[in-house]
Structure 1
């Protein structure tokens, strides 16, 4: 979840509310340093381990960071919420157990620092709320042929080479990984489970700023964002006037 992705989510909201009674005006990034900080914090490490290990923890820190840092001139609550929903959705987590009123009040209280007595407890509270109001969904990668996978990986600087019946993945001339040669001729499609694991091995997941839209070469993240906006439209409309 990098700065560019969060900016694109903010711009999606700008377009969505353009011409409405509550447009995001002025829009845009107010402080790039604070935005970089909010985007980088969920993926910080210490002694070789993630400080925030679970997807719920990372989603909570993304939400808390954007909403607290006031990175944008306008729409910080909406951008924080949509960014968190998108990140969790990319990791097969759907926040749909709560109703609109509960999600609105939760977001409003987080922004106003009203959820806990001590601010150092806010992240844990958000994590707990997300866990209680979410469910796992099946939102997997697509099936890909060998040629399609090779073309996608080439866009990220990887090269596939067949050596002694194996397919080696290299980048900048250095070996990175070995992948299966699917089918008798190595042309059977790669299934979603295998592709998801391969993306993790190659550092091509949303944690590293490569969401599924970017990986598959789709233009932007609008289809997914539109889905969240349609389902939770009332929440975003109320946040616009809060």
Structure 2
């Protein structure tokens, strides 16, 4: 008796920072550097509060916290300058992420990148992946409302021509998980720097290592 063929997800929608690549320490270093340059105080709690946030939200938070004269947009560009330079030096892949992306690509499962980072940070990371690894890329500078609003994930699913409920989103933060659940996705959470509370629609795993496309389809 032959087993039934594996049911694969219609699409997998990926967060980037903290999920595919562990760039959160890069962001934290950039935030700390701005605080030191302009004589402000920046704490670990401040850094944790911004994990997964829309970049303009982060820029506004840093402006207010440090009392800077720069606009949030200018602060975002300062952060990006630092993080892009660090990524060009070394891409910090999370365990199993690149391998799962390649397996999904080989299995014909469309993937979208759904990140609050901007395109100029995404580009140097994509250089290390095969062309068309992501059929759709949604960045923070492409949406009106960033995570935790559902717009980023709704935009990605619509661009792929699939229903959010047929997709699996992969996230690492409460902000991102909230966005994906609100969009109607099934969500695989692989926590990283901040804990994610349990909730409806969330499945947890410690690592992406040895995870298969078929296992994603069973979520």
Pairwise same-fold verdict (TM > 0.5): no
Which interval holds the TM-score relative to the shorter structure?
A: under 0.3
Higher relative contact order (CA 8 A, sep 6+): 2
More helix by share: 1
> Of the two, which has the highest radius of gyration?
1
